Structure 1
Amino acid sequence: MTKILNVSHLRKSYTSGNKELVVLDDISFGIDEGATFSIVGPSGSGKTTLLGLCAGLDKADSGEVLLCGVALSNLNEDERAQLRNREIGFIFQDFQLIPTLTALENVSVPLELQGEKGASATAMELLKKVGLADRSHHYPSQLSGGEQQRVALARAFCNRPRILFADEPTGNLDEETGNKVVQLLFDLNKEAGTTLVIVTHDLELARKTQHILRLKGGKMLSNESLPST
């Protein structure tokens, strides 16, 4: 099985005053193409920092990230951005929709930036899949939190990413709405064959994935494969 993500001896620290704060210390793991994978741990364990390093949003102090066969340390900021636009989808806890654009426009923007024809038609098809075709011309402020996250889901899949990073995707949602969003996320992911990496403190959500990596205090406690259900 081809590894879409390989992380080797990753270390990340920040300087606070004259002290060094180690956020991640010697993290190594790999993720197979098409797998579902979760990163769990308490607040401050380094989960979001690790996701940012894996996605090329930040650079490690040492170690290496191979993403889609490319060593991120060899890329400059523009090249990392190009790789993200081409290969990666993102879902964030706070939705990150553009407030001045409609749901349809929010979903179609990534395709339009890549110069794809039929961006609106593709975006509308994805909005149908997440049950929001009738809300396509509403602005984010006119949508509930659950509806905004469904728009974000549609946007994340619109450019057919090879790997999707979801950072606490249900963190701002009530339990019932969060469960619906999670079901949509896994359904869309299965249909697209995308690799899914979820950062979460929710163990119930993590157990829906095939692998769980546990962090505590910036160190990796375990990396376990779960039995197929």
Structure 2
Amino acid sequence: MAKILNVNHLQKSYSSGNKTLKVLQDISFGVEENTTFSIVGPSGSGKTTLLGLCAGLDSPDSGSIELCGYILSTLDEDERALLRNQKVGFVFQDFQLLPTLTALENVAVPLELQGERNALNLSKDLLEKVGLTNRINHYPSQLSGGEQQRVALARAFSTKPKILFADEPTGNLDSETSENIEKLLFALNKDFGTTLIIVTHDIELAQKTDYILELKGGKMLTTQNPIADA
């Protein structure tokens, strides 16, 4: 099966005062198309940094990343932004909805940026898929945390991304709401044929994915297939 993401010998450091903090050290892995993949590890292990590098939101000190057939280091910032706009979706722990827009308008934004003329109708259909038909004209402040994350999921899948990065997608939710969001995330991912990469500290969530990469102290400890290992 073709790889949608290839990471080779990734290194990333940050300067802190007179010290250099090594955040990621010699990280290499690949993710096949149409699979689910989780990155786990304790706080400070480099999970979110790794996700940002893979999505082209930041650049490594050394090593290479190939995303959707493009070597990220060969693209300028505008080209990376275009790649994300056309092929990448994001879901964040804190939802990142625009507070002055309704649920419907929030979902429509990425579609409108792509020039989709039928953005509002497509957005209505997506909000129906995530069970929010009666909340489409509500603003984020009028929605619960679980409802806001449902809007964020609808927005993330609206452009039919090839790959979706989810950073602690259930981190701000209670256990029951988390379970519902997880089911919805995996169901939408299957429906749209997307490759899903989840950063999480939740081992139970990670074990629901096809592959797990474990980080500790910026180093890769293991990659495993929980289904094969079960």
Same fold (TM over 0.5): yes
For structure 2, list consecutive stretches of 5 or more residues without a partner in the other structure.
none
Q: Which residue of 2 aligns with 1:175?
A: 175
SS of equivalent to 2:27: strand
Q: Which residue of 1 aligns with 2:112?
A: 112
Q: Percent identity?
A: 70
Q: Which residue of 1 aligns with 2:52?
A: 52
Q: Which runs of 4+ in 1 moved over 2 A?
A: none
Q: Which amino acid aligns with 2:160?
A: R
For structure 1, list consecutive stretches of 5 or more residues without a partner in the other structure.
none
Q: Which residue of 1 aligns with 2:74?
A: 74
Question: Per-residue CA shift, 1:90-112, capped at 9, x if unaligned?
Answer: 00000000000000000011000
In 2, Cα distance between equivalents of 1:148 and 1:193: 23
In 1, Cα distance between equivalents of 2:113 and 2:36: 28
Superposition deviation, residue 130 in structure 1? 0.4
Q: Which residue of 1 aligns with 2:215?
A: 215
Q: Which residue of 1 aligns with 2:185?
A: 185
Q: Which amino acid aligns with 1:27?
A: I
Q: Which residue of 1 aligns with 2:29?
A: 29
RMSD, aligned α-carbons: 0.8
Aligned residues: 229
In 2, Cα distance between equivalents of 1:207 and 1:159: 27
Task: Give 1:79-98 correspondences, 5 Å limit.
Answer: 79-98=79-98
Question: Per-residue CA shift, 1:39-86, capped at 9, x if unaligned?
Answer: 000000000000000000000000000000100001111111000000
Task: Give 1:100-179 correspondences, 5 Å limit.
Answer: 100-179=100-179
In 2, Cα distance between equivalents of 1:87 and 1:185: 17
In 2, Cα distance between equivalents of 1:16 and 1:110: 36
Q: Which residue of 2 aligns with 1:17?
A: 17
In 1, Cα distance between equivalents of 2:16 and 2:153: 36
Superposition deviation, residue 226 in structure 1? 2.0
Q: Which residue of 2 aligns with 1:206?
A: 206
SS of equivalent to 2:227: coil
Q: Which amino acid aligns with 2:99?
A: P
Q: Which amino acid aligns with 1:146?
A: G
Superposition deviation, residue 198 in structure 1? 0.1
TM (normalized to structure 1)?
Answer: 0.99
In 2, Cα distance between equivalents of 1:33 and 1:149: 25
In 2, Cα distance between equivalents of 1:45 and 1:133: 39
Superposition deviation, residue 117 in structure 1? 1.6
